[in-house]
Amino acid sequence: MEAKVLEAEHKDIWNEFVSTFPTGSILQSWEWGEIKKGAWEPIRLVIYDDTEIVAGISILKRKLPIPGKSMFYAPRGPLVDFASRKAVDALMFAVSLQAQKHGAVALKVDPEVEEGGAAGKILLGRGFIKKKKQIQPRTTFYLDLTTDENGLLMAFEEKTRYNIRLSEKKGVEVEIDNSNEGVETFYKIYQETAGRDGFMIHPLSYYKKIKDVMIDAGLAHLFLAYHEGKPIAGVIVFCFGNKIWYMYGASASEGRNVMPNHAIHWEVIKWAKQKGFKIYDLWGIPSNPTEKHPLWGVYRFKKGFNGRLVKYIGVFDLPFDPLIYHAFDKGVALFQNLRSLVKKGRIEDSLAE
C-alpha cells in the first residue's frame, strides 16, 4: 500500500472517494477544507492499494502558540474500513509521518461511524483516548428519503404534520435563494436567533465563503421562508453523495407562530427527494435528552420528523507529544468554560452528555 498527499489538481479524485465511501461526510469533502483555510491548513492523505484508494483522511492543521507545534483534527474522519487491519495500519503510519513533519502534538478524530461496531475498540487499541468533549454532534436523526412523500408525511408525529399544514394555511412560502443577498438576509435572521438563544455564530464573511466555495459548487443550498413578503426563517443544507445535512438554521422571533421552520424542512425534504438524495441528516440532538438540556427544544422539533436515531462513536484523540497535548487539552477546556460563562452567564456545553 502506498500513501499520498493530494494536491489541488486531485480535488475530483478526493471527492469521488469521499462521496462514495460508506461513512463519507461533507466535512471530509475537499470544499470543507477550503472553507476552513486561514485558521486551518487542510491536508488530504490517501492510501492506495494498487490504483484503488482504500482509505483517506482530510486533516485540518492548526498552529499552536508554540514554535513548530500544531494540532491535527479530522472532522468526521478518518475514512477507512476498520475491519481491514492492513488499511488501518497503512493510514495510521502515514498520519504519524505527517505529524512528525508538521509538529502535530495530537490527532483528533470523530468519524461518522455508528456505535456498536469494533471501531472504538480498534482506536483505543492504537493509543487513542476517548473524549467526552464533542466537536461535532455525536447524535442525530437520519430521515429515509427513499420513502414516498405521503409515507414520509404520515410517519411524522401528529403535531409536526399539523404545523406543516398550518404553515401552508397561513401562507408561508419557501424559496431557494443562493445569492449574496440571500446569504445576507439569512445572516440577519441568524444574528437574531443567536442573540435570543445564546449561542455564538461566525461572522458574515464565513457564510459568504460558504456561498462562494460550496453553494456555487452545488454542494449547499439556502432555503428562506417568507410570510407576507417578509423573510422570517432560513436554513443552509449541504449535499454530497447520496446524503444531505442540515447544519445552520435561523428563525426570527416575529412570525414563529406561523411555523416557518416546519415549512422549510418539508420543502427541503421534497426538494431532496426530487434530486435523488437518500438520507437527510438532521444534525445535532442531545445524546441523553432531558427537559433541562439546552437543546431540548431542538430535540423535540427534530424528533417530530420521526427519523432513525443515530449515535456515532464520538471523539478520540491520539497524542503524539503527550506532555504538550495534556497541557493544551486542559487549557482549551478552561478557555471554553470561561467563554461560556461570559456569553451565557453559566458554564454550559450544548453537546455535553
Number of domains in the chain: 2
pLDDT of residue 163: 97
Paired residues of 176 in beta bridges: 223
Tell me, yes or no, whether 319 and 235 share the same domain.
Answer: no
Tell me, yes or no, whether 95 and 176 share the same domain.
Answer: no
Tell me, yes or no, whether 109 and 194 share the same domain.
Answer: no
Mean pLDDT by 10 residues, the chain (353 residues): 95 98 97 95 97 97 93 97 95 97 96 95 96 93 96 97 97 97 97 88 96 97 97 98 96 94 98 98 93 90 97 96 87 49 44 66
The grid coordinates of residue 242 equal 447520496
- Are residues 249 and 229 in contact, defined by beta-carbon separation less than 8 angstroms? no
In a domain, 65, yes or no: yes
pLDDT of residue 343: 42
pLDDT of residue 352: 65
Cβ atoms within 10 Å of 78's Cβ, excluding its own: 25
Tell me, yes or no, whether 77 and 43 share the same domain.
Answer: yes
CATH of the domain at 41: 3.40.630.30
Query: Nearest-CA neighbor of 231 among 271, 186, 277?
Result: 186
Distance CA 186, CA 236 (A): 9
The DSSP string of 189-212 is HHHHHHHHHT-----HHHHHHHII
Cis ω for the linkage preceding 78 (within 30 of 0) = yes
Tell me, yes or no, whether 111 and 180 share the same domain.
Answer: no
Tell me, yes or no, whether 34 and 80 share the same domain.
Answer: yes
Tell the burial category of 69 from Cβ atoms under 10 Å away from its Cβ (0-12, 13-18, 19+): middle
pLDDT of residue 12: 97
Query: Nearest-CA neighbor of 55 among 22, 102, 7?
Result: 22
Beta strand pairing call for 173-176 and 230-240:
unpaired
In a domain, 353, yes or no: no
The pTM score is 0.92
In a domain, 350, yes or no: no
In a domain, 351, yes or no: no
Tell me, yes or no, whether 13 and 39 share the same domain.
Answer: yes
Residues near 144 by beta carbon (within 8 Å), at least 6 away in sequence: 152, 278, 279, 307, 308
Query: Nearest-CA neighbor of 223 among 246, 242, 205, 203?
Result: 246
In a domain, 274, yes or no: yes
Tell me, yes or no, whether 201 and 184 share the same domain.
Answer: yes
Tell me, yes or no, whether 261 and 333 share the same domain.
Answer: no
Tell me, yes or no, whether 322 and 295 share the same domain.
Answer: no
In a domain, 327, yes or no: yes
Could you list the residue range(s) of the whole structural domain that residue 329 is in?
2-136+313-344
Tell me, yes or no, whether 243 and 220 share the same domain.
Answer: yes
pLDDT of residue 198: 81
The DSSP string of 94-157 is HHHHHHHHHTEEEEEE--S-BTTSSHHHHHHHTT-EE-SS-SS-SEEEEEETTS-HHHHHHHS-
Tell me, yes or no, whether 22 and 161 share the same domain.
Answer: no
In a domain, 281, yes or no: yes
Secondary structure of residue 247 in the 3-state scheme: strand
